[in-house]
């Protein structure tokens, strides 16, 4: 193990592609799949087909670990996903005793590759290096500060009401300052939900699903800054 290569999958909900491969390229395509909510999945051990031909001897398929992060190639990155991306890279470099310079983007070690899109890898490595020096804490059972998700909030008749609606509305005001937290999921809430989803890069459907619920709390504006960098 001499390197780590960061990718985007160019699809959505596509762990099966990473595991099984696609026409013309058998799986597994990488060892890790990183979901948009920041959850890390170990897909495979051993040789995976994520970078060939490599322009770096330390990042060939047989010398490196691949991380495929769920992103269709245009979506903004949720902060929670980028954070997991960096944390995983930091853990791998510590585990295999590698310098942070061995963490690279696919676009840096194969000509013509765009991934991971919008991520400035120099900035990314600085952030990974910072995490490498942090003391590793035991995993927490729940993400800090995220209330429990109980039901999907959506515009129906009669309107969905409750404390959970009020809780979500209060958090959504970070994205839509004018939203009134009246505990009632009406048209204004649906519109606000769509605004949140557009901002965090979730599918825009006006329904507060588990994913939207989570991203409303954990999305960091850092994702936007990184894109511009």
**Given candidates 35, 86, 102, 106, which one binds Zn ion under the rule CB under 5 A?**
106
Instruction: Name the residue nearer to Zn ion (CB basis): 29 or 90.
Output: 29
At a CB cut-off of 8 Å and minimum separation 6, what does 54 contact? 60, 61, 64, 109, 110
Instruction: Name the residue nearer to Zn ion (CB basis): 5 or 202.
Output: 5
For the bound state, the minimum distance from the C-beta of residue 96 to Zn ion, rounded and expressed in Å, comes to 20
How many residues are listed for the chain in this entry? 229
Total binding residues toward Zn ion, as defined by CB under 5 A: 3
For the bound state, the minimum distance from the C-beta of residue 67 to Zn ion, rounded and expressed in Å, comes to 10
- Give the start-end residues of each E strand in the chain: 3-8, 21-22, 25-26, 32-34, 40-42, 64-69, 103-105
Kindly state the tokens that stand for 158: 């009669």
At a CB cut-off of 8 Å and minimum separation 6, what does 152 contact? 207, 208, 209, 210
Kindly state the tokens that stand for 55: 């322009």
Site for Zn ion in 107-126 (CB under 5 A): 115
At a CB cut-off of 8 Å and minimum separation 6, what does 107 contact? 113, 114, 115, 116, 121
Instruction: Name the residue nearer to Zn ion (CB basis): 12 or 225.
Output: 12
For the bound state, the minimum distance from the C-beta of residue 47 to Zn ion, rounded and expressed in Å, comes to 16
For the bound state, the minimum distance from the C-beta of residue 201 to Zn ion, rounded and expressed in Å, comes to 19
Q: Determine how β-strand 32-34 pairs with β-strand 40-42.
A: antiparallel
For the bound state, the minimum distance from the C-beta of residue 222 to Zn ion, rounded and expressed in Å, comes to 23
For the bound state, the minimum distance from the C-beta of residue 82 to Zn ion, rounded and expressed in Å, comes to 16
Residue 14 found at the interface with Zn ion (CB under 5 A)? no
**Given candidates 3, 4, 6, 7, which one binds Zn ion under the rule CB under 5 A?**
7
- For Zn ion, what does the binding mask look like between residues 31 and 60, x meaning CB under 5 A? ------------------------------
Single out the residue of 144, 141, 140, 58 nearest to residue 98, CA to CA.
58
Single out the residue of 49, 68, 47 nearest to residue 1, CA to CA.
47
Site for Zn ion in 162-201 (CB under 5 A): none
Residues contributing to the site for Zn ion (CB under 5 A)? 7, 106, 115
């Amino acid at each position: 193990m001499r390197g780590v290569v960061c990718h985007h999958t160019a699809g959505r909900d596509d762990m099966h592609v990473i595991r099984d491969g696609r026409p013309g390229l058998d799986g597994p395509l990488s060892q890790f799949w990183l979901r948009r909510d920041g959850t890390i999945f170990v897909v495979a051990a051993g040789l995976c087909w994520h970078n060939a031909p490599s322009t770096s001897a330390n990042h060939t398929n047989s010398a490196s670990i691949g991380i495929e992060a769920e992103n269709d190639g245009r979506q903004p990155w949720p902060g929670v996903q980028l954070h997991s991306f960096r944390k995983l890279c930091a853990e791998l470099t510590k585990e295999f005793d590698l310098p942070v310079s061995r963490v690279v983007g696919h676009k840096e070690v194969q000509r013509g590759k765009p991934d991971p899109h919008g991520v400035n890898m120099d900035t990314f490595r600085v952030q990974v290096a910072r995490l490498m020096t942090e003391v590793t804490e035991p995993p927490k059972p729940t993400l800090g500060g995220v209330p429990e998700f109980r039901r999907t909030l959506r515009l129906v008749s009669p309107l969905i009401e409750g404390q959970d609606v009020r809780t979500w509305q209060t958090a959504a005001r970070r994205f839509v300052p004018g939203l009134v937290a009246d505990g009632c999921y009406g048209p204004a809430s649906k519109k606000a939900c769509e605004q949140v989803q557009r901002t965090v890069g979730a599918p825009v459907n006006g329904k507060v699903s588990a994913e939207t619920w989570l991203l409303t709390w954990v999305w960091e504006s850092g994702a936007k800054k990184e894109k511009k960098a």
